């Protein structure tokens, strides 16, 4: 879609153009340079959908479920760095968005969510399809608006985009009663931002940065934990420069994958619950921990009172002051945008005195790599991920659902670029992987997008295959089918003495036939030879393709750190 500046767009309108709130909404979204909106209509947003008729500038994609709409908007936002937008009606339409709102909130994703509501005259009367969505989502939105006067709508939309995409980013909700969407006003775009109580991120304190630079000079075993903040602040290049100067090993959290190139000699992989031996051991033996845009999530730290026991100092750089010291006591704090912090740090940074430390962590990478027992008769999921990595050279946008396959992606796919992994980290939302790929593909039409799902999560939003077929969205849909809720099975096996309870997914549909029912090519393989052949066929096929890889249900994700234990108490599986 051709982008239109506010001044140009406004000049095309009549000076005294009396329009409805619905038309105000559409024009305002276009002025915010929104490329695509994902949504699902209903009674209390029908004025808004009516305004879309005959509007060639406004692109809307009809999903098959509201959760599909918000996950698609989320994938668009994560992969592009822009604000994702979705629309749903009141009541069940709005409440179906709640899981997606929480997913975006936990992972600091900028979204603007537009919901309809019942007319203001009947609000509070338990009217048909009435739900107080503002109260329901209060704890999982960055900000919320209830529009009671159409004249406030241009300002509210402009503010919502600003709030969603500045500071620590997050979802903003705009609730529009039906009568407000039909009220008329002379359209006057809002250009000014003056939000009481909302302040911009301050410039980083150079004295604070100088202190952690000094701490590096005084350390012998430093380690960087790079999180999603590196990606969201577009600071990947600055981090690479910082590491090349200081020679400090790096471990990247799940959301930080891609923020630092996996192939770099100082990259140790992911830490935590299913982290690498090299990463977890380095954290436990480091004398200086530098967290950059990571919030010390419990899946990274595991048992808190045993986390980094030899660290004499812990430095935390984050855009959100509320994260400093929240989970881990911090000795050196720096609040600010990661990119700005690292830009200044790179002017002062010096190599750390850590050559013997680097030698040790690199030895651990060599001695304890990620391994699995391959098979000539069965198709192992790790082999599938290695195959996908090799054929795409780490350059695809990968979206995942949640479960074992998500961890295998984190371990065996070698991400080289930021915004190339789209996954639900903080909330762990099943059903996220496939619809988020649709949004990522729309935001990146020239990139290869591969959606990797388990057979459980795929069934939660499989209906969105209709969009790929109708809109010719060329997502390559991978289903790792082990006929079981794999991560739950693994935990029941290890932590609940193999008392397996309600994990059997053997009654799942034939995924190839399901894809074909939607008009999408479906392929399946259960051995290496067929896997290599059908994956190549999928890559060479224009348009969407579903590829099912049938793998053994017994396969587990290792290493694994059990809850209540420390990072150095790793279970290594068959290579114990």
Q: In terms of Cα–Cα distance, which of 105, 172, 170, 125 is closest to 144?
A: 172
CB 241 within 8 A of CB 230: no
Which residues, in sequence order, are CB contacts of 409 under 8 Å at separation 6+?
385, 398, 400, 421, 423, 452
Q: Is 66 a catalytic residue?
A: yes
Query: Cα torsion at 51, 52, 54, 56 (round to 10°)?
Result: 140
Helices (H), 206-327: 206-218, 228-232, 236-246, 277-285, 298-301
The catalytically annotated residue of 142, 169, 178, 380 is: 178
Q: In terms of Cα–Cα distance, which of 316, 265, 269, 262 is closest to 288?
A: 316
> Rounded CA gap, 10 and 144, in Å?
27
> Rounded CA gap, 97 and 301, in Å?
30
> Rounded CA gap, 112 and 176, in Å?
13
Assigned token pair, 26? 């559409």
Assigned token pair, 344? 């200044």
Going edge to edge, which strands form the sheet with 476-481?
Answer: 421-422, 397-400, 449-454, 476-481, 545-550, 521-525
The catalytically annotated residue of 13, 129, 362, 491 is: 129
The catalytically annotated residue of 270, 387, 458, 487 is: 487
Helices (H), 165-205: none
> Rounded CA gap, 254 and 12, in Å?
46
The catalytically annotated residue of 23, 32, 66, 130 is: 66
* Strand segments (E) across 518-571: 521-525, 545-550, 560-561, 570-571
Q: CA 85: distance to chain centroid? A: 15
Q: In terms of Cα–Cα distance, which of 189, 183, 169 is closest to 10?
A: 189
Q: Is 134 a catalytic residue?
A: no
Q: Is 487 a catalytic residue?
A: yes
Q: How many residues does the chain have?
A: 576
Q: In terms of Cα–Cα distance, which of 110, 116, 90, 206 is closest to 165?
A: 110
* Residue positions annotated with a catalytic role: 66, 128-129, 178, 487
């Amino acid at each position: 879609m051709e982008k239109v500046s506010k001044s140009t767009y406004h000049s095309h309108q009549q000076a005294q153009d009396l329009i409805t709130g619905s038309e105000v909404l559409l024009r305002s979204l276009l002025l915010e340079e929104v490329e695509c909106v994902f949504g699902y209509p209903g009674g209390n947003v029908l004025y808004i959908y009516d305004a879309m008729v005959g509007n060639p500038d406004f692109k809307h994609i009809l999903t098959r479920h509201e959760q599909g709409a918000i996950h698609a908007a989320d994938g668009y936002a994560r992969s592009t760095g822009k604000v994702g937008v979705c629309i749903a009606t009141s009541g069940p339409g709005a409440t179906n968005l709640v899981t997606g709102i929480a997913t975006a909130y936990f992972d600091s994703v900028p979204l603007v969510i537009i919901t309809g509501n019942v007319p203001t005259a009947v609000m509070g009367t338990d009217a048909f399809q009435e739900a107080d969505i503002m109260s329901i989502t209060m704890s999982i939105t960055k900000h919320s608006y209830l529009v009671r006067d159409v004249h406030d709508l241009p300002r509210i939309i402009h503010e919502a985009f600003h709030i969603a995409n500045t500071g620590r980013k997050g979802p903003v909700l705009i609730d529009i009663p039906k009568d407000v969407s039909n009220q008329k006003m002379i359209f006057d775009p809002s250009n000014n931002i003056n939000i009481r109580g909302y302040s911009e991120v301050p410039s980083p304190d150079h004295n604070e940065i100088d202190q952690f630079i000094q701490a590096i000079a005084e350390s012998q075993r430093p380690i960087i934990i790079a999180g999603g903040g590196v990606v969201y602040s577009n600071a990947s290049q600055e981090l690479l420069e910082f590491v090349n100067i200081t020679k400090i090993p790096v471990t990247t959290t799940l959301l930080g994958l891609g923020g630092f190139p996996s192939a770099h000699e100082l990259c140790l992989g992911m830490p935590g619950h299913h982290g690498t031996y090299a990463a977890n051991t380095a954290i436990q033996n480091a004398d200086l921990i530098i967290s950059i845009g990571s919030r010390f999530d419990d899946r990274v730290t595991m048992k808190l009172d045993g986390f980094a026991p030899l660290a004499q100092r812990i430095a935390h750089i984050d855009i959100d002051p509320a994260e400093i010291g929240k989970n881990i006591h911090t000795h050196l704090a720096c609040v600010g945008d990661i990119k700005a912090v690292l830009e200044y740090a790179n002017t002062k940074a010096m190599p750390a005195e850590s050559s013997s430390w680097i030698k040790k962590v690199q030895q651990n990478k060599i001695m304890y790599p990620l391994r699995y027992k391959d098979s000539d008769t069965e198709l192992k999921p790790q082999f599938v991920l290695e195959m996908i990595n090799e054929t795409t050279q780490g350059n695809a946008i990968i979206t995942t659902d949640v479960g074992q396959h998500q961890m295998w992606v984190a371990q065996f796919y070698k991400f080289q670029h930021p915004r190339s992994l789209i996954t639900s980290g903080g909330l762990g939302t099943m059903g996220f992987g496939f619809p988020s790929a649709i949004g990522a593909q729309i935001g990146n039409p020239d990139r290869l997008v591969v959606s990797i799902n388990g057979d459980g999560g795929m069934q939660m939003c499989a209906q969105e295959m209709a969009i790929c077929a109708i809109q010719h969205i060329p997502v390559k849909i991978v289903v790792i089918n082990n006929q079981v809720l794999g991560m739950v099975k693994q935990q029941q096996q290890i932590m609940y003495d193999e008392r397996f309870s309600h994990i059997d997914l053997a009654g799942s549909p034939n995924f190839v036939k399901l894809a074909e029912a939607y008009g999408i090519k479906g392929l399946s393989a259960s051995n290496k030879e067929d896997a290599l052949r059908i994956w190549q066929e999928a890559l060479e096929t224009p348009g969407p393709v579903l590829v099912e890889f049938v793998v053994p249900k017994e396969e587990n994700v290792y290493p694994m750190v059990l809850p209540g234990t420390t990072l150095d108490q790793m279970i290594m599986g068959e290579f114990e």
